[in-house]
Amino acid sequence: MNQKGFTLIEMLIVLLVISVLLLIAIPNVTKHNSFINEKGCKAFLKTVEAQVQAFEMETGGKPTSVDDLITGGYLKEKKCPNGYDIVITNGVVSTSE
């Protein structure tokens, strides 16, 4: 009986190696995901600041809220990638942490 195929021991070893790789990879992915969202929020804040300046140049006044930028067509959304709301106070852009 010379059958070709994998034995149960070989399959268990392969499953063990795959599970160890998953245990190593999953925490790294979740850690990098929060880092990416934080960087994305900082970049979005810079974009909103630029749109505030564009709003000031075109209208001659500062926007009172993010809704002014959205209704004027300067922005499409008012949330950062990490879920925080963007707030404009006296022309200064920040997040509502």
Residues 51-80: pLDDT tens digits?
Answer: 999 999 998 888 888 888 888 888 888 888
Single out the residue of 71, 81, 79, 72 nearest to residue 96, CA to CA: 79
CA 19, CA 8: separation in Å to the nearest integer? 16
Within 13 Å, how many C-alpha atoms sit on residue 69's CB side?
Answer: 27
Q: Is 86 helix (H, G, I), strand (E, B) or coil?
A: strand
Residues 23-59: pLDDT tens digits?
Answer: 998 888 878 888 888 898 899 999 999 999 999 999 8
